[in-house]
Structure 1
């Protein structure tokens, strides 16, 4: 049984302290971040609308604070240990002097650095160009530094808080898969399969969240579902109105962020009906399955991300299907949808215990089928642990 509870305040504070140490080591006085990944990772804030910017301000020495539209303040206080210290509104009120998010952010920065000599670290990857230009205008181009890589590095090794939530996200994906497998019949449409995924997934997410009222079980990604020779070779096709026929291979991608914005990777080809699988389709399925097995065997501390990709690539190359490859072997997972490193050629990042990946080499043969076996994998001291279930969906 997976332990129920979200990261504790102590875990959030430990994450903030580690980033503060990195800020100091890199000569950064104040971090300002507007990306949802950072506010979720440090503050536990999730599910807010992205129309009005929300800033997390973290001094290298001091307490973090949020700069928020007044609309979202109550929800932030409900979810997070970090206080809202500056609010902005869209009308005149002397109690709230800021009319835009940048005015409010500048008020905080002027309080923290009245002489404007602080070096500001901004997440260029998730901040708008207008926000960066405003910061440069107030502090000078030379005092506004890009700390995107610093934030990425902070999330490379997952703590127990992240791992615990990803385990539950993996459980949700498996729950959805089993529901689809039990109900899939020829004559259904792709979108009806998507509905099974969404309903069963929300049911399972609600189970994990029954004592966590701060968060929602309905923040679900749309699954990627394609069926038959004409559509299953689409790597990222959304579920359509196409009717699934007897003997179709339905490629399921149940990846996404089903719980608290934490991500999971789980992909399987599934047979609809009882027709025998043709030899050309069977070949694609077998190679994809073999490629994933080779990639998993290559995962261990000390190996590189590129080594894992090379192992899968070698299988595909040996079978003469390199032209049917369309993407890397895998990607980092965790407290956002896409994390690093990536399991691809040229990524020399050394694998370490605590990294989590979607291991998902795929074969896409136009006019025949696609097949992608994907799983969520945790690197451990002794090798790896599959957080999804590799015994599920390997019975075609």
Structure 2
């Protein structure tokens, strides 16, 4: 590979060469967040801010702040600034699921009281969390309505029986089809109960000079509007690739287990898990890459390229992720940029750590999928 880049400090063009690319830059665009293009945004007399590019000198003390969004960023931001603002309003188009809980790990604390060695505490706690995540994921698909009621009950415990849960905290989708935000000590709900924050569930008609006009006809006035509306997915760092002087469109490739791509030699993309810690897959892929490089060295080859086997040629090709399985906005907006998946495990990113932790270490590096030269 020959890489061309630009130094951010001097603007100088620089060049590198590499035999193997290990793409570890994450999966969202760091330079800017996602903000819909609402009508009338230029009419608003106050400031419009996205959390991803938060100005260090933003003064929100004593002001009315309107936060647009319903995910983890919005849920974290509202209680963090509510104490300094005159009032914070959370405006959401549709609700999301939350898990409120104590901001601590009770198991780890109990083990420390028993004077258990810290290395043991780490391993025991890690295994317990992984077990709980696996069990929750299984239940979310096997008994989604039960899990849904449990999640809503957790929120209702903070807000009380008279709060309008159906409007503000009952999502239209089933649990775990999008990420679920953990709310430490229920802080956003405490803010709502105290009156320092409020929640409005409605759709935006347009921005106005004073704030936002909703489709219901109500106008929300604000001094500052924060668009906590998500991020833009970045496919392999938004880098332009070409192979043999032909531009490469990753959407034309088929993914091998969500990390390699047909027709693309010597490249692994680290794409983690949505329903488990991202770094769990980083560990697994780190072991895979090390094993692959050692295998190539032992074989005396310089390149490896995934290719469909003869039995895969008529395989049905599908979008990177099944929308019925996982469908957050950032993924749905960018699905056309992502590689295809097949209907066989080898050609999918299954998002299943509990299967992959056993499967990835056992990959046969001499499988015909891997074409060496």
- The TM-score normalised by the length of structure 1 is 0.26
- The TM-score normalised by the length of structure 2 is 0.28
| Higher relative contact order (CA closer than 8 Å, sequence separation 6+) | 2
